[in-house]
């Protein structure tokens, strides 16, 4: 019992002394009499503390990573979605601009010819019917489309509708070898027939073998009865070569089509023909010739001692003696 009481008294005494030392150390700061002892302890135990801290830090980092893993994954997924949306927007930019231009040209063509159209988009090429040059459009009978309607775009004649489903239709392109359309030379009444030649220029036969035709002349559709399968006045192409066929009843002409059949996207199906023939009104305007600069050189007569013209243009008289 005595030992226990002495131990307790000693413990209380040590606690009092410890509090006293702490109070003195705090109040005196750097001038504390315990500063040297504190530095010595730090020098001894500092390396051990750093080693323990270095060993524990990865564990703490791992724990912190686990805690923040959910928010990091959410951030990554959000950034991935934003990146994908940005890529889609960038990729769609040129396409949207191209389609806007195509639609603008299509509406100009329809307006100039007074054609009532249904806009459609090419969704497939080469139908199952066996035609070599066909496209499928995303418009069908539900949109009022029927067989033998004329198909155009902003450049001119694309083809005609051959088969119709509920929501799609098939178009035979004007460059297909089985395609034939009645034509008229722009600026005249010379008639003929143009037919497709695949990847080659169209071939046109003029009914008048003596018709005057030259390179660069333009062709439009002559038109069919009730506008089926062809409405009048649709631009077809321009003459690029005239075959010399003397003595023949007809003349054969090579025609470069206005439409690029391998680069079709937005087109218009003519659902109602114009009330009257637009003639050449739908053709693109001829390019304005560039002005040719002219250089005018004006000769300035030089002065001479005698016999040269003066400012008024009369010769100077010579003086004689006497």
pLDDT digits (tens, 9 = 90+) for 80-122: 777 777 676 665 566 677 888 889 999 999 999 999 999 999 9
- Between 301 and 194, residue with greater pLDDT: 194
pLDDT at 227: 92
Model's pTM, two decimal places?
A: 0.61
Instruction: Decide if 6 is inside a domain.
Output: no
Instruction: Decide if 130 is inside a domain.
Output: yes
The closest alpha carbon to 223, from 97, 140, 114, belongs to 114
pLDDT at 100: 85
pLDDT digits (tens, 9 = 90+) for 130-147: 557 999 999 999 999 999
pLDDT at 319: 46
Mean pLDDT, range 171-182, rounded to an integer: 95
pLDDT at 8: 72
Percent of the chain with pLDDT over 70: 64
pLDDT at 258: 96
- Between 314 and 85, residue with greater pLDDT: 85
pLDDT digits (tens, 9 = 90+) for 281-309: 999 877 666 666 666 666 666 654 444 44
CATH number of the domain enclosing 159? 2.40.10.350
Instruction: Decide if 74 is inside a domain.
Output: yes
Domain span holding position 98: 42-284
> What does the alpha-carbon distance between residue 110 and residue 158 come to, in Å, rounded to a whole number?
13
pLDDT at 130: 55
pLDDT at 83: 74
Instruction: Decide if 77 is inside a domain.
Output: yes
DSSP 8-state class, residue 153: -
Mean pLDDT, range 65-93, rounded to an integer: 67
pLDDT digits (tens, 9 = 90+) for 212-252: 888 999 999 999 999 999 999 999 999 999 886 666 667 88
> What does the alpha-carbon distance between residue 287 and residue 116 come to, in Å, rounded to a whole number?
28
DSSP 8-state class, residue 199: T
Buried b (16+ CB within 10 A) or exposed e, 287-300: eeeeeeeeeeeeee
Structural domains in the chain (count)? 1
pLDDT at 99: 83
For the cut 50, the answer to whether the pLDDT of residue 318 exceeds it is: no
pLDDT class of 172 with cuts at 50, 70, 90: very high
DSSP 8-state class, residue 205: E
Instruction: Decide if 231 is inside a domain.
Output: yes
For the cut 60, the answer to whether the pLDDT of residue 69 exceeds it is: no
Provide the terminal-to-terminal Cα distance of the chain, rounded to the nearest Å.
Answer: 172
Non-local CB neighbours of 113 within 8 Å, separated by 6+ positions? 231, 233, 234, 274, 278, 281, 282
The closest alpha carbon to 173, from 192, 190, 197, belongs to 197
- Between 119 and 10, residue with greater pLDDT: 119
For the cut 50, the answer to whether the pLDDT of residue 311 exceeds it is: no
Pairing relation of β-strands 116-125 and 251-257?
unpaired
pLDDT class of 123 with cuts at 50, 70, 90: very high
Instruction: Decide if 235 is inside a domain.
Output: yes
Instruction: Decide if 1 is inside a domain.
Output: no
- Report which secondary-structure segment, H or E, holds 282: none
Percent of the chain with pLDDT over 90: 45
- Report which secondary-structure segment, H or E, holds 240: strand 235-242
Mean pLDDT of the chain: 78
pLDDT digits (tens, 9 = 90+) for 155-171: 999 999 999 999 999 99
By the 8 A CB rule, do 283 and 234 touch?
no
By the 8 A CB rule, do 156 and 237 touch?
yes
Query: Is residue 245 left, alpha or beta, with left meaning phi > 0 and alpha meaning psi from -120 to 50?
Result: beta
> What does the alpha-carbon distance between residue 228 and residue 272 come to, in Å, rounded to a whole number?
10
- Between 251 and 202, residue with greater pLDDT: 202
Q: What angle do CA 112, 117, 120 make, to 5 degrees?
A: 125
> DSSP assignment of 241-253, as one string?
EE---TT-SSEEE
Instruction: Decide if 307 is inside a domain.
Output: no
By the 8 A CB rule, do 231 and 150 touch?
yes
CB atoms within 10 A of CB 233: 26
For the cut 50, the answer to whether the pLDDT of residue 47 exceeds it is: yes
């Amino acid at each position: 019992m005595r030992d226990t009481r002495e131990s307790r008294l000693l413990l209380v005494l040590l606690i009092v002394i410890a509090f006293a030392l702490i109070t003195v150390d705090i109040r005196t700061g750097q001038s504390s009499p315990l500063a040297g002892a504190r530095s010595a302890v730090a020098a001894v135990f500092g390396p051990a503390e750093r080693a323990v801290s270095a060993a524990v830090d990865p564990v703490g980092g791992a724990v912190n990573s686990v805690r923040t893993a959910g928010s990091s994954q959410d951030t990554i997924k959000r950034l991935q979605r934003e990146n994908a949306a940005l890529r889609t927007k960038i990729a769609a930019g040129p396409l949207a601009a191209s389609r806007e231009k195509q639609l603008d040209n299509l509406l100009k063509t329809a307006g100039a010819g007074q054609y009532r159209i249904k806009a459609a988009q090419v969704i497939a090429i080469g139908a199952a019917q066996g035609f070599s040059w066909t496209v499928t459009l995303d418009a069908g009978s539900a949109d009022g489309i029927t067989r033998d309607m004329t198909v155009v775009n902003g450049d001119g004649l694309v083809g005609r509708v051959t088969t119709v489903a509920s929501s799609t239709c098939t178009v035979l392109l004007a460059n297909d070898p089985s395609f034939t359309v009645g034509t008229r030379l722009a600026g005249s009444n010379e008639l003929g027939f143009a037919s497709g030649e695949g990847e080659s220029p169209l071939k046109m036969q003029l009914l008048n073998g003596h018709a005057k035709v030259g390179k660069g002349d333009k062709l439009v559709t002559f038109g069919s009865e009730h506008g089926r399968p062809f409405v009048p006045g649709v631009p077809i192409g321009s003459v690029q070569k005239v075959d010399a066929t003397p003595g023949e009843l007809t003349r054969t002409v090579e025609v470069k089509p206005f439409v690029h059949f391998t680069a079709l996207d937005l087109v218009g199906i003519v659902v109602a023909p114009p009330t009257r023939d637009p003639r050449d009104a739908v053709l693109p305007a001829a390019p304005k010739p560039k002005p040719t600069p002219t250089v005018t050189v004006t000769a300035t007569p030089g002065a001479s001692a005698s016999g040269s013209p003066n400012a008024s243009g009369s010769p100077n008289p010579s003086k004689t003696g006497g």
